[in-house]
Amino acid sequence: MMLFDIKDGVNIGDLKELRKGAFDLFHYFVDYCFDHGLRCMITSIMDDAPGRVHDGHEEGRCFDASIKGWSESDIEEFVHITNANFIHIAAVSEKDLIPRAVVCHGEGEKRHLHIQCKRNLT
């Protein structure tokens, strides 16, 4: 069984450009999916992708993942647990100043997990 999959067109080499915080989140995400039997499909690292909304991608601070095969409660639980556990490295929203390591955003087909560490992590 593959630990994770990367969508066609996404450059797997960009993994080595991730900041330490984003890489820690990547490792955690792969582990989490494995432990919970969830599909782990990376849909954007630094490449532009449909539905992508954050500049942090170019900075190597985030990656996107598909929610295909995940139930609403899978998503809710992952978002809740991850945001509680990674508050120390989570990206801080400029809108409400709340740190969130993960958000599930986008509409319809483009809805996805956006996983992001804060600025100034090496």
Site of interaction with Zn ion (CB under 5 A):
54, 64, 114
Amino acid, single-letter form, for residue 14: D
Q: Tell me how far, at minimum, the Cβ of 57 lies from Zn ion, in Å.
A: 6
Q: Of the two residues 38 and 44, which places its CB atom closer to Zn ion in the complex?
A: 44
Taking the C-alpha atoms of residue 33 and residue 78, their distance in angstroms, rounded to an integer, is: 9
Q: Of the two residues 33 and 117, which places its CB atom closer to Zn ion in the complex?
A: 117
Q: State the distance between the two ends of the chain, measured CA to CA, in whole angstroms.
A: 32
Q: Of the two residues 87 and 103, which places its CB atom closer to Zn ion in the complex?
A: 103
| Strands 102-105 and 112-116, sheet pairing | antiparallel
Q: Under DSSP, is residue 66 helix (H, G, I), strand (E, B) or coil?
A: strand
Q: Of the two residues 66 and 87, which places its CB atom closer to Zn ion in the complex?
A: 66
Q: Tell me how far, at minimum, the Cβ of 1 lies from Zn ion, in Å.
A: 26
Q: Tell me how far, at minimum, the Cβ of 26 lies from Zn ion, in Å.
A: 13
Q: Under DSSP, is residue 47 helix (H, G, I), strand (E, B) or coil?
A: coil
Q: Tell me how far, at minimum, the Cβ of 49 lies from Zn ion, in Å.
A: 8
Residue nearest to Zn ion (CB): 114
Task: Output the CA–CA distances (angstroms, integers) from residue 27 to 24, 45, 80, 109, in the order listed.
Answer: 5, 14, 18, 25
